Amino acid sequence: MATSPTIYPLQPENPTGPYYPCPNPNKYFEVRTSNIHQRGVFTLKTIPEGIKLIEYIGEKISRTEALQREAINNTTGLTYLFDLNENTFIDGAVGGNESAYINHACTPNCVPRTLEGKIWIVSAREIKPNEELTYDYQFPSDDVVQDICRCGTKYCRGTIQLPK
């Protein structure tokens, strides 16, 4: 019997905020080749902690459509699905922006947050120029496909999935 692909939940909203908007994202980061995975997003300037860097945008789809796309994504090794809520998902591969290129790291410098019904990537600490923006994808340990992590951080888990 085939198992359904798992859709990955966002981290809960941080009640301690506030978060501050990034004045002009195009002046703070750019997409270029990454040592972690294909392309990544890199800072051009120092970014303070608590900055809403970029909204994760893309096509809004149903849970059913997300499950179908995730099954296809498991064969390609690429996924850009984020859950906005229990029934609505965002596919950053369709109508997305630079946020779709933010790679996973086990000890990231950013965190995803649901704020005012939108998914934002927020700086978790001060980020220096030329650092790659990352967040922990937190894929579940029982995921059908176990993705190798290439973040290279001191506390790398070896996979993108959370430990069992």
Is residue 31 a contact partner of residue 43, using CB atoms and an 8 Å limit? no
CA distance 157 to 124: 19
Residue 29 lies in a domain: yes
Residues in the chain: 164
Residue 158 lies in a domain: no
Residue 126 lies in a domain: yes
In tens, the pLDDT along 63-111 reads 999 888 888 777 776 778 888 888 999 999 888 899 999 999 999 999 9
Residue 157 lies in a domain: no
pTM summary value: 0.82
Please give the tally of structural domains in the chain: 1
Residue 5 lies in a domain: no
In tens, the pLDDT along 15-53 reads 445 566 666 666 888 999 999 988 899 999 999 999 999
Structural domain for 84, as ranges? 20-135
User: What CATH number does residue 89 fall under?
Assistant: 2.170.270.10
Residue 140 lies in a domain: no
Q: Which amino acid is at 40?
A: G
Residue 62 lies in a domain: yes
